[in-house]
Amino acid sequence: MNSKMQQIPQRVINHQGLNIPASQDTHVPHHLKHEIVVVPSTSAPAWGSYFVFDFKEKALTLHKIAIQFNVSAITGFTSSVTPSDARYTSAYGWFNRIEIVQNNQVIDTIYPDSQFLLNNLFHFDEDRSYINNAAGNYASVTQRALLATTASNYYVDLWTYFNQAHPDLLYPKDDIQLRVYLDTFLNNFAGSGTGTPVSKINFANLLCSVTRLNSDINSSKLFHLSKQVHHHKFNETRYATYALNNTGTQYTVVLNAIVGKVSFLLFLIRPQTAVGDDWLKFSAISQFSILDSTSTNITGGQPVLSELALGLYAKEFAKSSYLSETARGITNNNAYAYFYSFGADAEDTMSSGRTYNHWDFQGNEQLQIQFASTPSAAFTVDVYAYVNSVLEISPTYVKKLQL
């Protein structure tokens, strides 16, 4: 008799007294409530200013956050084309940085480039379509121009340590504050025509995906935390930027702002004058290397060619096809964002906090880039490194530790 025919599905008696296949059995605590909490900003948002969100609810687990911006139509501008092409950039460019604060400490700082890239690299194309459409799709002038004709909502899905750690918020010291530093409107406007464009941010909300804990589970968590501190691994963002003049084809920058166990890093290059839609049009290089303090290549011993980084290497870490949106692909959105991972699974590291190897940066490593020809204008190199860190939580404090 066929061995497969002899297999008998395993059955279990579940908590409801039902005799069901083991594959249908789940162990989920009762009376949990999963919801999205909408938190209005504590202070009013305005272009070029700073505002905050305060999230102080307790007895819950925080999974992820997003920001909703409601902005006015763009007025004061006469487009030179019909229909009007006056538009906002993708809402991922509307802030300069966001600081996430717990227990009066900045646990992590997130940046527009890194948030845009994480969401476009580590989601499948079907999922990132929703994300980009919600924020104003970088690849569609038509969609963003239509949104700008009336007051519209834009949503920025943030990739933060909450995605990795899923911390419990149990005490007042667990309160979350987001400090949002907004860019100017003119840096986030695009269109051809005349006049002085005007925009207003009507309001902003923080959207928090949470699981509310029932009293028994909340008491259990409080008890266990009182016995031993809890640790949650996550990847802290380290940022370095370099403004360079166009004096040749090869450039080397010292990554002195990056110290710690780096799982992976991203870097991108664009003209220093890039604003509006140009902020997401990155410049191509011919190759790059990362060197240690002795100038020894630590990215495989040879420079990494651009087409290799954006092609065969990309499929090893990227879940989407974003990095194919170059002159070598079917659609060119200038997606020349360069990535190098020292671990085996960068996406899982950013999703779960699990680590799969690293390079221990000492602050004297070098990034060496080479262009096929001298750049036409002065440019900026922006580097984002993801460093192994830990969130330590006790009944009286929250703090960040570096592994």
Alpha-carbon span 134 to 335, nearest angstrom: 20
Q: Which residue type does 225 have?
A: L
Per-residue pLDDT of 123-180, as tens digits, reads 999 999 999 999 999 999 999 999 999 999 999 999 999 999 999 999 999 999 999 9
Domain segments of the chain: what residues? Answer: 35-228, 229-403
CATH topology of domain 229-403: Adenovirus Type 2 Hexon; domain 4 (2.70.9)
Residue 393 has φ and ψ, to the nearest 5°, of -125, 130
Give the mean pLDDT of the chain: 94
Q: What local confidence, expressed as pLDDT, does residue 94 receive?
A: 98
Per-residue pLDDT of 36-72, as tens digits, reads 999 999 999 999 999 999 999 999 999 999 999 999 9
Q: Do the first three CATH levels of 35-228 and 229-403 match, i.e. the same topology?
A: yes
Residue 5: pLDDT band (50, 70, 90) is: low
Question: Is residue 256 helix, strand or coil?
Answer: coil
Q: Which of 363, 371, 339, 342 is nearest to 254 (CA)?
A: 363
CA distances from 169 to 37, 62, 141 (A): 14, 7, 41
Alpha-carbon span 256 to 254, nearest angstrom: 6
The answer to whether residue 1 scores a pLDDT higher than 50 is no
Q: What local confidence, expressed as pLDDT, does residue 8 receive?
A: 66
Q: What local confidence, expressed as pLDDT, does residue 13 receive?
A: 86
Among the ranges given (5-9, 345-349, 382-386), the one the predictor scored with the smallest mean pLDDT: 5-9
Residue 105 CB coordination number (10 Å)? 12
Per-residue pLDDT of 85-96, as tens digits, reads 999 999 999 999
The CATH code that applies to domain 35-228 is 2.70.9.10
Q: What local confidence, expressed as pLDDT, does residue 136 receive?
A: 98
Alpha-carbon span 130 to 152, nearest angstrom: 16
Enumerate long-range contacts of 23-29, CB under 8 Å, 24 or more apart.
29/214, 29/217
| CA angle, 167 then 267 then 294, to 5° | 105
